[in-house]
Amino acid sequence: MWVTRRFVPVVVVAIAVALLMARPGTSVAAVSDTPSGSTVPGGARVPSVSPEGGVHTKYFCGSDWKNVRPGGGTGYNIYNDDFGASTCLENTGNAGFTITRSTADGSYSAFPNTSSGWEWGVAPLHGYAYPVREKDDGEPRTSVSVGLVNSGVYNAAYDTWFSTYKQTNGQDNAAEVMIWLSCRDNCIGWEPVRIEGVEFLESQWVAYHNGVHWRYTAFVAATNRTYFTNLWLNPFFSAAGIDPNWYLTSIDFGFELYSGGDGLRVNSYSLTGVR
């Protein structure tokens, strides 16, 4: 793995911590020791449509989702993971989307994203064999391009999830690894690490949501970026200490919204190489 690092701190919050993109579920109590930038989602819905159906309109709001198959038959779910921000998305059939409305105002309340795996019981459209053990996940590589805005508080990030068993619904119980391209007024990161030739700041701690604990690791680009090209994900999993026997359940990319977000967009997105 092409990883150069100095030291990975593990900050275990004494009481349980609700963390950046906890899979939404029942109510979660905020903890005073929650690290800066943490999200405490407050009871999001799962998608209101069946996995077979999806939302087939150009515009969709709430916590709905849409399945798309841009070029070559490879499919993704555009998931409006909204747990309080009243977000609306526009999608024209490709793997990207634009946030046309967000009422996020002072709390993390949405993570609209392009998903390739299992997300709250919604099945992936790929032929990828999620859930798949990390040691058998192939060579996942991804490219993304985003359009940012100069207002609001948000980050643009990959969100990958792992469980100790073949989980397809609910809160994953092993680990979450996020890779932040950019952030606006909510940046975190403590220790420098270079992965795939890019300088990141790494943070790691233990998170808690809905009775489940898991390890959270964020790799935050030291300099804000608007794209990655052919980014290899396995070195990030290795640097985060992922157990090779844990199951990779999903690779997602989107915007974590704390306030604002109107106009943020994913111009293009692709993921290849997952078995």
Beta bridge partners of 145: 227, 268
Q: What pTM value is reported for the model? A: 0.85
Identify whether the C-beta of residue 63 lies closer than 8 Å to the C-beta of residue 89. no
Beta carbons within 8 Å of 64's beta carbon, 6+ residues apart: 47, 48, 49, 55, 80
Higher pLDDT, 9 or 86: 86
What local confidence, expressed as pLDDT, does residue 232 receive?
98
What local confidence, expressed as pLDDT, does residue 20 receive?
45
Asked whether the predicted pLDDT for residue 249 surpasses 70, the reply is yes
Highest mean pLDDT among 31-35, 54-58, 228-232: 228-232
What local confidence, expressed as pLDDT, does residue 53 receive?
65
* Nearest CA-CA partner of 97 in 60, 51, 134: 60
Over residues 125-178, the pLDDT tens digits come to: 776 789 999 999 999 999 999 999 999 999 999 999 999 999 999 999 999 999
Beta carbons within 8 Å of 44's beta carbon, 6+ residues apart: 24, 25, 63, 81, 82, 83, 84
In the chain, where the domains are located: 3-274
Tell me whether residue 32 is exposed, middle or buried, using C-beta atoms within 10 angstroms of its C-beta: 0 to 12, 13 to 18, 19 or more. exposed
Residue tagged 């967000």 (tokens) = 102
Tell me the mean pLDDT in the region 82-88.
93
Over residues 118-127, the pLDDT tens digits come to: 998 888 877 6
Domain spanning 3-274 has what CATH number? 2.60.120.180
